[in-house]
Amino acid sequence: MRVRVLGTAAGGGLPQWNCGCQSCCRAAELGVQLSQDCLAISGDGNSWYLVNASPDLRTQLLATPELRPPPGTRRTPVEGVLLTSAELDHTLGLLTLREAARLPIYATAAVHQALRQAFPITEVIGSYTAVQPQTVSDRQVLTAGLAAEIAVVGDKRPRYAGELRGTGWVVAYRFTGAGRSLVYAPCLPAWSDAFEQIIDGADVVLLDGTFFTEDELTHASGSDRPASSMGHLPIRAALPEIARHPRTRFLFTHLNNTNPLAHPDAPELADLRAAGAEIAAERQLLVLE
């Protein structure tokens, strides 16, 4: 199993285009750019699935040689997309893929409903290519020895889909191939039983690192919205849980522009290192063999 981290930031990326906070200004000065969270995963290194389709997908694909079509062809190695939610920062990149010959999209019934009714992305893409919506079941067989299981970890609907009902709005995926396993959970509101179960014995877990602390937005921008109200377990609250899984490698992703850990010289990284956890890096390759 090979996994390429395509992007590691929360919605808006770092810097965020309209934000002059200290972290965004510093990133702009240093030329640091974190793109919005997205993953590519493959069982054999040839056929790849995207997990989420970020608005930055075009540049993320171009920065990843293994996702380019062979010269003289339009045979993209991208087999399909699995979605962890219907949030715009996880789905807008689907529109970039409209030139594909066909586009399988794996998601829960609730997420498909949002993309069909509240914001008809799949219908629009259907004017350009053959969209193949698949409702993810408990165990999804993909190509090249890869399989995926889901755990529902949250029920926060995207703001644009506030009228819709249903459950299964936010999921984590556990991918397995040749006896190894990786969990991807870029949005995790709480360390629930369902999450504990899906990460059990996993080799690698990439998880929600949106905020370092519960009150981070208050300090950064005067907002009164704590992390938990926005559907994100802060890193500091996740660290004690991680300590209970010493055989699993944990990497945080989906970092908000206010998160101090987005900068490699942050003193707060010492807490992370002490817990044996890491921050996922843009374009990082994970090889699980």
Q: Is 111 left (phi over 0), alpha (psi -120 to 50) or beta?
A: alpha
The one-letter amino acid code at 19 reads C
Beta strand residue intervals within 73-179, DSSP E: 78-82, 102-107, 130-135, 139-141, 147-154, 170-177
By C-alpha distance, which of 34, 30, 33 is closest to 10? 34
The verdict on 228 binding a copy of itself (CB under 8 A) reads: no
Give 107 or 125: the residue with its C-beta nearer to a copy of itself. 125
The verdict on 17 binding a copy of itself (CB under 8 A) reads: yes
The pair of three-digit structure tokens given for residue 164, joined into one six-digit string: 């819709």
Find the part of the chain contacting a copy of itself (CB under 8 A) among 67-75, 167-175, 176-184, 280-288: 67-75
The verdict on 234 binding a copy of itself (CB under 8 A) reads: no
Least distance to a copy of itself, CB of residue 101, Å: 8
- Candidates 45, 66, 128, 132; binder of a copy of itself (CB under 8 A) is 128
The verdict on 160 binding a copy of itself (CB under 8 A) reads: yes
Q: In what order do the strands lie in the sheet with 78-82?
A: 130-135, 102-107, 78-82, 48-51, 38-42, 2-7, 285-287
The verdict on 240 binding a copy of itself (CB under 8 A) reads: no
Find the part of the chain contacting a copy of itself (CB under 8 A) among 70-78, 133-141, 182-190, 262-270: 70-78
Count of residues that bind a copy of itself according to CB under 8 A: 50
d(CA 203, CA 181): 5
Least distance to a copy of itself, CB of residue 15, Å: 6
Identify the burial level of 107 via C-beta atoms within 10 angstroms of its C-beta, where 0-12 means exposed, 13-18 middle and 19 or more buried.
buried
The verdict on 209 binding a copy of itself (CB under 8 A) reads: no
Could you tell me if 44 and 64 are in contact, meaning their C-beta atoms sit under 8 angstroms apart? no
Give 64 or 284: the residue with its C-beta nearer to a copy of itself. 64
The verdict on 16 binding a copy of itself (CB under 8 A) reads: yes
Could you tell me if 14 and 257 are in contact, meaning their C-beta atoms sit under 8 angstroms apart? yes
Q: Where on the chain is the footprint of a copy of itself (CB under 8 A)?
A: 12-13, 15-22, 25, 28, 33, 55-59, 61-62, 65, 67-76, 78, 88, 92, 95-100, 118-120, 123-124, 127-128, 159-160, 162
